[in-house]
Amino acid sequence: MKVTDIKPEVFAMAQRVQAKLGERFAEIDAVAEENTRRVMTAFQDNRVSDACFAGTTGYGYDDLGRETLDKIYAQIFGAEAALVRIGFVNGTHALTAAMFALVKPGDTILAVTGMPYDTLRSAIGISGDCHGSLKFYGVNYAQVDLNADGDPDIPAIKAAASDKNVTAVMIQRSRGYAERKALTVQEIGEIIKAVKEVNPTANVMVDNCYGEFTDVIEPTHVGADIIAGSLIKNPGGGIAPTGGYVAGRAELVERAAMRLTTPGIGGECGSTLGNNRLLFQGLFMAPHIVAQALKTAVFCAGMMEEIGIESSPSVFEKRSDIIQMVKLGNEQNMQRFCVGIQAGAPVDSYVTPEPWAMPGYDCPVIMAAGSFIQGSSIELSADGPIRPPYMIYMQGGLTYESGKLGIMMAVSAMLDK
């Protein structure tokens, strides 16, 4: 299947759907414009120059680009400090460094938006028995679930957070790979306010993955003490080749740096090996690229509505992450959807995604991704576990035009009975 195989009726459908999205797209563009202004201001205030793009080797002392980028991230996120590093191997790594910055043995870390993202469970010690997990070091874990409507359960959060052993509270902004909605930054602010009311010294951390630049403010603007995320998602703009970031209160960011490297060294070492320009350029692109991903997701919602398939969020719902959840109802539809997305990719378009037994899952998982950067999910991708309700999580799209082609391919594949 190739992009030249998109059915004529799917083109017609796409035209119909897109015609209804003008106003929605204008809202997304307005967010991108405001975020671009914020990013540009930070670049200019911090005097970004060609000298920032030179890399260091070895220990990486006095890396001008690395130090400038830390300041820029801090400014954009309204935080005291930030740590942006290619030495973070992924988002999980940055999040784990942030978690370790908040606790000591005997403390409790409290998740208040239900079960944390899959890969964090081993780091916390909820699942598995890893040497060096929070549990291994004597840190306890507690959890408050979202309520039946998928909203934060404020009374239950207040009750749980008032335990004096709770020194860290964790909020997940995005839906991740769970059947829940993303929390808006405003909702995150309300949780933080409730926590601080009953436990003013507890530090609140936000897993900001997939959320950056979908709104004009970030969790650090509404009181989050520390946030973390991945550079192969939103803030890397599809250009950063790897890495993660942490931003927040200076003392906590410093502690996260000591977890990333070693106590005593912190953020002062870490050569950038010629990657600085890509991290700057990616951040510069990020507000626009996130808008492209959001338009792709909204278009997907519109197309699914057109063929009678349930998906979330709906076209006009406010978004706080780039994920589109599509309830495909059966394995065959999941496979067809993924085959279409894969065939619409610029890279590896000729391979056919097959379900596989992925470590950490209790059932086969199917994934479609044809990205320039391995595993990058700011690029168009879709995946989901093959079990009821047969949900696919679709995200990314570096350009709306290519994202739209991918969705049209997926719809063509599904109609191809």
Ligand X SMILES: *Cc1c(COP(=O)(O)O)cnc(C)c1O
Among all chains, which residue has been given the structure tokens 């995946």?
A: 383
Interacting residue ranges for ligand X, rule: CB under 6 A: 90-92, 95, 117, 119, 172, 174, 176, 207, 209-210, 230
Shortest Cβ 388–ligand X spacing (Å):
22
> Please, what is the minimum distance in Å from the beta carbon of residue 67 to ligand X?
24
Name the minimum Å distance from CB 174 to ligand X: 4
SS3 for 166? strand
Distance in angstroms (rounded) separating the CA atoms of residues 146 and 85: 32
> Closest separation between CB of residue 11 and ligand X, Å?
32
By the 8 A CB rule, do 375 and 89 touch?
no
Between 324 and 335, name the residue whose CB sits nearer to ligand X: 324
DSSP H or E run through 414 = helix 400-415
How far apart are the C-alpha atoms of 399 and 379, rounded to whole Å? 9
Q: Which is nearer to ligand X, 175 or 295 (CB)?
A: 175
Nearer to ligand X by Cβ, of 90 and 292: the residue is: 90
Instruction: Please identify, using beta-carbon distances, which residue of 117 and 299 lies nearer to ligand X.
Output: 117
Neighbours of 338 (CB within 10 A): 27
Who's near 23: CB < 8 A, 6+ residues apart?
Answer: none
Nearer to ligand X (CB atom), residue 292 or residue 320:
320
Q: How far is Cα 269 from Cα 257, in angstroms, rounded to an integer?
A: 10
Q: What is the smallest separation between the CB atom of 61 and ligand X, expressed in angstroms?
A: 28
Q: Which residues pair with 203 in a beta bridge?
A: 168
Min CB(293)–ligand X separation in Å: 13
Q: What residue is closest to ligand X based on CB? A: 91
φ/ψ of 393, rounded to 5, equals -105, 115
> Does the bond joining 155 to the residue before it have cis omega, within 30 degrees of 0?
no
- The candidate with the shortest Cα–Cα distance to 217, out of 122, 287, 166, 284, is 287
The minimum distance between CB 87 and ligand X, in angstroms, equals 14
Sequence letter at residue 221:
H
C-beta of 242 vs 335, nearer to ligand X? 242
Pick the closer one to ligand X by CB: 324 or 333: 324
Q: Which amino acid type is present at position 122?
A: S
How many whole angstroms separate alpha carbon 225 and alpha carbon 248? Answer: 5
Nearer to ligand X by C-beta: 175 or 336?
A: 175
Neighbours of 269 (CB within 10 A): 17
Please, what is the minimum distance in Å from the beta carbon of residue 318 to ligand X?
A: 18
